[in-house]
Amino acid sequence: MDIERIHTPVMLERTLELLSPAIAGDGAVLVDATLGMGGHTAAFLERFQNLTVIGLDRDTDALGIARERLAKFGDRARFVHTVYDGIERAVRSEGFREVQGVLFDLGVSSLQLDRAERGFAYSKDAPLDMRMDFTSGRTAAEVIAEESEEELRRIFLDYGEEKLAARYARAIVRARADAPITRSAELVAVIQAATPVAVQRQGHPAKRVFQALRIEVNEELSVLERAMPAALETIAVGGRIVVLAYQSLEDRIVKRALSAASSSTAPAGLPMELPEHRPQFKLLVRGAELASEAEQAENPRAKPVRLRAAERVRKPS
């Protein structure tokens, strides 16, 4: 496997630029909360010779590849098999109380997309799995088989923002009554048959359904809801967090968490802001940054990315 060819880290130079003021010093620790195949981590360890990175991932395949790729860095590269809402436990397990940097590169990884057998891609026929950690949890095929029409509609609407959610849920329930839907090509065929021709011209009709199933299978949004405050809690004063989100549902959670952390908690009507009410973080970028046009042209997976970042300015007294 040519890792460098299949895995180009998104907005790498920008993440290095934003995190470097916090992690350039001796003894600095960075948590790569979505390690994947280690592209971002490799660059950070190369650039900052005194940096330790704790890499988290729920995907055992990705951890195996990252371990091999980062072996040359010795114990400066640490590995923890966990979902990223376990960040606080992971940091403590490696002997640290706080860290100087946290990086989230959310969404499905290149490894998961490019290995057809994982079932993430609607363009490749494979078993309907979609688990990021294929050692535990329900598969997408089980979700399709077990959930009611009403619940499937909710999943497609809430997690895929799919306008035809009700139509697709109804078609799936009818199709599964005749035969189980266990492969991605079977699900795509059901969706395509239920899609008006005019809609099919607007893009692949299965895209949002597959996104929704992946989010449901991996509990991505609820995990992120827990992970953001946990990550912020681990960051030392002067430390920074950078988050790369790839769809609006993720970005909304990130925006809300960083906005709350960077806002005053003073009750309305107070004549002055007391020290304990001052924000604990300050935002480092205005709104959400996009990848440059050049990067989007070179790396199509950078097209939907939204980057947000913040720095801790104080700890609660």
Binding-site positions for S-adenosyl-L-methionine read 38-40, 57, 84, 105, 112
Alpha-carbon span 237 to 232, nearest angstrom = 11
Any residues with CB less than 8 A from the CB of 39 and at least 6 apart, and which?
Answer: 3, 7, 8, 9, 12
Residue ranges for the known binding site are 38-40, 57, 84, 105, 112
Is residue 56 a contact partner of residue 31, using CB atoms and an 8 Å limit?
A: yes
Residue 259, Cβ neighbours under 10 Å: how many? 14
Burial 278-313 (b: 16+ CB within 10 A, else e): ebbbebbeeebbebeeebbeebebbebbbbbbbbbe
Alpha-carbon span 282 to 263, nearest angstrom = 8
